[in-house]
Structure 1
Amino acid sequence: MSFSIVRERPAPGGSCGNPEPPVGPGPNRLQGERAPAGEPAGEGARYRLGVISNPASGANRRSGLKGFRRLMGEHPRLPYREVRTPAEVADALAAFDRRGVDLLAINSGDGTVQAVLTELKRRGDAARMPILALMNGGTTNMTHRDLGLPGRPAAALRRLLAWTERGEGEGRIVGRPVMRVDPLPAGEPVYGFFLGAAAVYRGIRFFHARLKRVGLRGNAAHFAVFARFLWGLARRRDGILSPATVRLRADGRDFGRWRAFLLLATTLERLILGWQPFWATGEAPLRVTLVKAPPAWIAAGFSALLRGRGHPRLQPEHGYLSLRAAAIELELDDGFALDGELFAPGGPTQRILLRPGGLVRFLRFAP
């Protein structure tokens, strides 16, 4: 039976100026291949820059865009759009594509980045995929933590403009394979870097219901949700830790059906708070960890779990599974989160396929 991916809440949610000098898209790579860390970006003046902001993203909503808009006002020819919805994202990207933008700055949170990636991939022309420069305008900013520009959005934009206009600083390109999430047996895919289910899905719902309105963001928000998890573990019976039923297949191997406390899948190299809850070796692009409910030996192995270090208790026979794969098929009786966006099941269960969706290039600056 087919169930479409149903977005649980609206995804992110303009004005344009004139172009700058063009540049070619750079070398193509095979799908899933990782670019060398710190590949030179060349001269900043080669790039045609466009900028997207989401005023509704966490940090932008709380702090406002006054300074960012003032800086953009000093560059009236620079293509600029403010977006809040996937339709506005699509419209902005179409306008930027017509103007030859090949370096796209995104001032937002993870959800807007996810919407941009999905729309760029939907358009389907890998040769015209712009390099992305991420700015810290959201609440969680997990993708930014691994791949973004340092500093607050206005400061990051100022540094980016100094590089593109005056050649100040050293730009470098970092590549990551994006994760493609397909509903099975058919449906429109979405793209992102981090997928979570069970406790992660419920934790993000808890954040939106209880913590977002009080203005927590970044590490403060992460620690608050983490503390809520610990409280739930101490109580042993807690709605936020209610298990999800997960059936997992990886590269054709069936790992069976689990009552899962935690499910994580990513292509990122750094997660929030420096956690790395993956300990499988290999070169496959998708890293996955699954923890059975209730988690056994959690007190003894929790630190090793978060740091991705081997521990005698973190074994499948104790309910801990970590692996790397090129394709993951999941059957869930609950929703999942992709880069902080919540997707509810379209029926009693949903099946999704995770696989590499091609390499995405990001601009970073050398220290």
Structure 2
Amino acid sequence: MTAVSPTHRIKSVPEKIGLLLNPTSGQVRKREKAIRKALEQITGAILCEATDAPGFIAATDTLIQSNLDLLVIIAGDGTSHAVLSHLFTILPVTQWPVLMIIPGGTTNMTPLDLGMRGKPEKILQRLAQYLQHPDNCNTVKQVQRPVLCIEQNGQQTIYGMFFATGLVARGVKFSRSSVKQIGITGGIFTFLIMLRSLIGLIFTRNNKEWAPVTMSITKENGESFQGTYLFALASALDCLLLNIRPYWGREPAPLHVTWVDQQRKHLWRCIWPLLSGKGEQLNAQDGYHSHNGHQLTIQMDDEYIVDGELYRSIGNESLHITATPPIAFLVL
């Protein structure tokens, strides 16, 4: 795994704090009373609430205009994705506040990968204690991560931490329509998506709902692949939900890329290495591909997801995926 996320102790305590809360996020809904009580302990902070994309944009604009040192997002991956995308459109990275993402959603892949552990209200309490007594806090650090930049002619540029198409995207689409309505969150939610996706492997040939994706993939060195694949993914995260690490490239580059052919060999025997980061034993000749890179080009006419949000590509225009410069996250 490539080292793209240097950490260091934060040198100064942020003074101007902005809080963006999505009260409809999975964990926030379940723990709203405790979260709001913890928010009251962060004195002097500016609190904005929003529940949809236009609201996230408006709230981000309001908070950024306050010249923040720290922007705290209490929500899930979808909200963080919307805020990141908007920040890239309005400010150069050098003018951003430090970000802090508290896992308040149904899925919280980004904050968990950054090292943010615990219930949302407990993390907010630790933040309040750090702001009030910084000399007594030994666990605060900054973590740096690049962000995926996904461009396609005629479409708005998308920014996020995790891109996927094929069975992964179809599993997420299913979760948004069915499982999410039940109110299940966290690891159980992720396990159900994975289970559904594995079931989908059995029906890929007979069920359009779980059809593999037909596309061409071009690496930055010009090497090109074209065919039908079970899935393809690109991530700026070292680890996905449930500690899944479905890539095994060794190149010193920030984007982790993996795809699996529809006509793969020994799939059931290879599932554990594929998910556990031990895929170096898997062979491209058998249909398993993984590498680290700085950019990737995909051409397809199909759906894909970025941080759990569903998009659709236009087949005659390529998707260009690159890595942005690293941005700073505060972790407690």
Q: Calculate the TM-score normalised by the size of structure 2.
A: 0.92
Letter aligned with residue 149 of structure 2:
R
Matching residue's letter, 2:198: L
Is contact 2:100-2:331 (8 Å) kept?
yes
Give the whole-Å Cα distance in 2 for the aligned partners of 1:329 and 1:362: 28
Residue equivalent to 2:292: 324
- Report the equivalent of 1:217: 185
Q: Are the structure 2 counterparts of residues 242 and 349 from structure 1 closer, same or farther at C-alpha, using a change threshold of 3 Å? A: farther
C-alpha separation in 1, matches of 2:16 and 2:253? 34
Larger RCO: 1 or 2 (CA < 8 Å, sep 6+): 1
Q: Secondary structure at the match of 1:219?
A: helix
CA shift, 1:252, in A, is 4.1
Match of 1:27 in 2: none
The offset of 1:88, in angstroms, is 2.0
Partner of 1:87: 54
Q: Which runs of 5+ in 1 are unaligned?
A: 1-31
Alpha-carbon shift at residue 85 of structure 1 (Å): 2.4
Stretches of structure 2 lacking an aligned partner (at least 5 in a row): none
| Equivalent in the alignment of 1:286 | 255
Task: State which of 92, 110, 114 in structure 2 corresponds to 1:125.
Answer: 92
The TM-score with structure 1 as length reference comes to 0.83
Render the CA deviation track for 1:139-184: whole Å, top value 9, x for unaligned.
111111111532221111111011012224231001011111111x
What is aligned with 1:69? 36
- Check conservation: 1:148, 1:363, Cα contact below 8 A: no
Q: Deviations over 1:7-56 (max 9, x none)?
A: xxxxxxxxxxxxxxxxxxxxxxxxx994523x011243x43211111112
Q: Could you tell me which residue of structure 2 aligns to residue 199 of structure 1?
A: 167
Letter in 1 for 2:306: L
- Deviation per CA, 1:314-339, whole angstroms, max 9, x where unpaired? 32222111111111011122110000
Aligned with 1:297 (options 246, 263, 266) = 266
- State, as a whole percentage, how many aligned pairs show the same letter: 27
Secondary structure of 2:326 counterpart: strand
Q: CA RMSD in A?
A: 2.1
2:199 match: 231
For residue 120 of structure 1, give the secondary structure of its aligned residue in structure 2. Answer: helix
Within the alignment, does 1:340 sit opposite 2:308 as a pair?
A: yes
Aligned to 1:358: 325
Which residue, 222, 244, 266 being the options, matches 1:275?
244
Tell me if structure 1 keeps the 8 A contact 2:41–2:128. Answer: no
Cα distance change on mapping 1:106 and 1:80 into 2, 3 Å: same
Q: Indicate conservation of the 8 Å contact 1:182/1:353, yes or no.
A: yes
CA contact (8 A) 1:55 1:64 kept: no
1:216-266, CA deviations, whole angstroms, 9 ceiling, x for partnerless residues? 211101111222233333456444531111211111413221201011100
Deviations 1:255-305 (A, max 9, x none): 221201011100101111111111121111111101011432102211111
The answer to whether the 8 Å contact 2:248/2:280 transfers is no
Aligned residue pair count: 328
2:235 matched to 1:266? yes
Q: Judging changes above 3 Å, is the alpha-carbon distance between structure 1 residues 234 and 329 closer, same or farther for their aligned structure 2 residues?
A: closer
User: 8 Å contact 1:191–1:357 — kept in the other structure?
Assistant: no
